[in-house]
Amino acid sequence: MQRYADRENFEPGTARRLGQQLREDLEVMNHEHSRLRERLTAQEQERHRERLQLMDQCQQRWQEGLQALDQELESQDPRPQELRRRARSIEKAVKNYRKELGRLESSIEP
């Protein structure tokens, strides 16, 4: 979405399709995040409480960013610079989430 919003030939319809794709990708990540918590034992959850809280915060940020992105996409003339800013925020939250996920996985593996 960020790269598309930077293009000179920006089309709202294409931006909306990309927004839908992003929404679907984030829904998968939300589902995987829930499954992760279900797989951890109570002891593992307590031992990794802080990391899980950081991951929850990242998830919350990307959900808020997606909501704002959706609002912009619903407008008559979505503003590319606003879409770019929102997409960048979501990307940053996802990147931080994946970093914490990698650290969590490496600390759980035997």
What is the pLDDT confidence band of residue 7, given thresholds at 50, 70 and 90?
confident
Please check whether residue 87 is in contact with residue 2, taking contact to mean a CB–CB distance below 8 angstroms: yes
Neighbours of 82 (CB within 10 A): 16
**Alpha carbons 84 and 96: distance in angstroms, whole number:** 18
* DSSP conformation letters of 52-105: HHHHHHHHHHHHHHHHHHHHHHHSSS--HHHHHHHHHHHHHHHHHHHHHHHHHH
pLDDT of residue 108: 83
Predicted structure pTM score: 0.88
Tens digits of per-residue pLDDT, 10-56? 899 999 999 999 999 999 999 999 999 899 999 999 999 999 999 99
